[in-house]
Amino acid sequence: MTIKQILEEEINKTQVLILAGGSAKRMGLVEKPKPLLQVAGKPLIDRCIEFLRDNGFKDFTLLVGYKAEQIMQHVGNGEKYGVRVKYCLDPKVRNVGKAKALKNAIENGAVDASRRSLIAFPDDIFTEKTLVARFLLSHVEAVNRIKVLASIVLASAIDLPYGVAKVDSNNIVTIFKEKPTLNILTSTGLYIVEPEVYKIIVQEINLDEQKQVELEETILPMLAEKRKLYAFIIPRNTWLPVNNLKELEQVNNTLSEANA
């Protein structure tokens, strides 16, 4: 088989889960759900779906919560993107978080328990066009070679948005550096999980937990401890997160300049 044929076969075994239940409260933009915020003239959710579609993916499930009806009305059944889209409403509990949303989707049958999942978030933008296809091939190779259960995309470094300092024993600042680049592997919020991980999520996550429960605080550390989590590392400048108004402005400028 050619690489293209192998990729097509593996894509057909993969469903896309987009966690789109968040609000834009941290940005002070509560009139619309975060996935519908526009960057360089296009909503985040459109950029996410189109990026994954262009990598070959066709089957999408959107996990929606905050103002879900707005997202459902905008995205529809996926026909306008050339893909298939269905929805799963977040559970009616307080402080949902990604892990609770995933457990709810698994238990409600919105996740096909026989297929692996590519998990993505609409507020993470990637500038390398074939990244996800290469990520999937890397994951499949790692599953076959070293029996991992999941893979994660990591940026090779991160630009810290603050100044940092070193001080001596007398609290005299000896070094100050504004917004340094830290050479530390950083999660970009793009994951692939095998069906075995669904069982772990259902077993470990409690929907009645009072606090918000995140995948990154529960399931991913557990997989890492068991040496079942594989890393796919990308250059830091190929990932553009949108978590606050400043990042929204920066990404808007970057994409607008690229399209100029």
Residues 59-81, mean pLDDT to the nearest whole number: 95
Binned at pLDDT 50, 70 and 90, residue 22 comes out as confident
**Distance in angstroms (rounded) separating the CA atoms of residues 76 and 156:** 36
| The two structure tokens encoding residue 135 | 């990520």
User: Residue 232 region, left (φ>0) first, then alpha (ψ -120 to 50), else beta?
Assistant: beta
* Positive or negative: CA dihedral 192, 198, 199, 202: positive
Could you tell me the CA-to-CA distances from 85 to 44, 76, 176 in Å, in that order?
16, 7, 49
**Beta-bridge mates of residue 63:** 19, 88
Residue 231, beta-bridge partner list: 152
Residues 6+ apart with CB under 8 A from 252: 39, 40
Residue 257 confidence (pLDDT): 74
pLDDT of 92: 78
Model confidence at 30, in pLDDT bands (50, 70, 90)? low
Fold of 3-155+185-254: Spore Coat Polysaccharide Biosynthesis Protein SpsA; Chain A (3.90.550)
Residue 27, pLDDT score: 60
Under 8 Å between Cβ of 216 and 98: yes
| pTM: predicted TM-score of the whole model, two decimal places | 0.92
> Residue 64 has what pLDDT?
94
DSSP string of 139-153, one letter each residue = HHHHHHHH--SEEEE
Find the length of the chain: 260
Q: What is the pLDDT of residue 90?
A: 87
Assign 26 a pLDDT band (cuts: 50, 70, 90): low
User: What pLDDT digit, counting tens, does each position of 206-246 carry?
Assistant: 988 888 889 999 999 999 999 999 999 999 999 998 887 88
What local confidence, expressed as pLDDT, does residue 213 receive?
87
Largest CA distance in the chain: 66
Confidence class of residue 83 from pLDDT cuts 50, 70 and 90? Answer: very high
Q: Name the pLDDT band for 161 (thresholds 50, 70, 90).
A: confident
* CA–CA distance, 240 with 166 (Å, rounded to integer): 29
Q: Mean of the per-residue pLDDT values for the chain?
A: 92
Distance from chain centroid for Cα 239: 11
Q: For residue 19, what are its two tokens? A: 């966690």
CA distances from 90 to 99, 206, 210 (A): 11, 14, 15
| pLDDT score at 66 | 86
- How is residue 141 written in tokens? 């190779």
**What pLDDT does 29 receive?**
58
Q: What is the pLDDT of residues 130-147, one digit of tens each?
A: 999 999 999 999 999 999
Structure tokens at 107: 């238990």
Q: What is the mean pLDDT of residues 13-36?
A: 81
Task: Enumerate the β-bridge partners of residue 191.
Answer: 119, 152
